[in-house]
Homo-oligomer: A and B are copies of this chain.
Amino acid sequence: MLTDVLRRFNRTYTQRIGVLDDSFLGTGRPLAVSRLLFEVGETPGTTVRALRDRLDLDSGQLSRMLRRLEADGLVTTVPDETDRRRRLVRLTPTGQDAYDDLEHRSERRAVELVAPLTGRQQERLADALRTADILVRAATVRLEEVASDAPVAREATRRYFAELDARLPAGFDPGGPDAPEPGATYVIATSGGEPVAYGGIRPVLDDGTAEIKRMWVHGDWRGAGLGGRMLRHLEALAAGQGHRRVVLDTNGTLLEAIAMYERAGYTRIARYNDNPYAEAFFEKPL
């Protein structure tokens, strides 16, 4: 059913909106090279590796295209001082002009495309595309276990703490550096390599209880059901490790989080730790 709609849309899309990419034609550069230039412009200072992943290109092919852009004076590549195997790619001023040109072409195409619609129709289309966008992106998020000291996990933790600090009335101080937590498992959700949600479990007592820790969802991704998905994932993980009950704590000001836990079947219990930032405590049998 949905797949029919999806496939039908796919056809419409490739025939009609796909021509947005045609705007990259007529620049005197092949499509792939323009796409690369555009990608460099979107994410200045990325590594060659990241471009390769993002555009799904052969390393040789990408390298040659970069040489071509360099020869045209559009990009520069310099070694990454933190890891000199990597090279960082940036636009030159000329490259920035070429990028701006691509932007304008793409924008013009988009304007042309929607011009025949009335104002109301344009609003409906914008709503529909926004919804589709976030759902499709949410659908393609990948959940993976990570070590809690992996760079992407550190980054997610940093953002989690930063958000607590911003939202709790008295701020938040994580205290010293991470203490190692024996038996803990952390899971990162990434979209295009960027962390978008994070969370973990650790065994608390020998009575078959696991605690859910550091549940965090990227601000741009609220409302996409990622929190619920992460929660289900962690519960399944805990069950797989033999736990029969999960508990968690949270601050009383995090209302959406509390609502989500309640929707997910968690019930309030009494304080079970001395975490000064925690005000609400939950449990759920598995």
Contact = CB atoms under 8 A, between A and B. Distances in A.
A130 B3 CA distance: 11
A26 interface: no
A228 B138 CA distance: 37
Main secondary structure of the interface of A (DSSP, over half): helix
Interface in A106-143: 106-107, 110-111, 113-118, 121-133, 135-141
A9 B225 contact: no
B136 A7 contact: no
Given A111-B3, A126-B2, A117 B133 contact: no
B132 A117 contact: no
Interface stretch (A11-19, A83-91, A173-181): A11-19
A125 to B, nearest CB: 4
Contact of A7 (B110, B121, B139): B110
B114 A2 contact: yes
A6 interface: yes
Contacts of A122: 2
B135 A8 contact: no
Given A121-B225, A132-B128, A6 B139 contact: no
A106 B10 CA distance: 10
A21 interface: yes
Q: This chain: how many copies in the complex?
A: 2
Contact of A131 (B113, B125, B140, B141): B125
A264 to B, nearest CB: 12
Contacts of A136: 12-13, 16-17, 113, 125
Contact of A17 (B6, B16, B21, B131): B6
A234 to B, nearest CB: 15
A48 interface: no
23 contacts: A1-B126, A2-B110, A2-B114, A3-B110, A5-B130, A5-B133, A6-B114, A6-B125, A6-B126, A7-B20, A10-B21, A12-B133, A12-B136, A14-B18, A16-B137, A17-B136, A114-B139, A116-B139, A116-B140, A121-B138, A121-B139, A121-B225, A128-B128
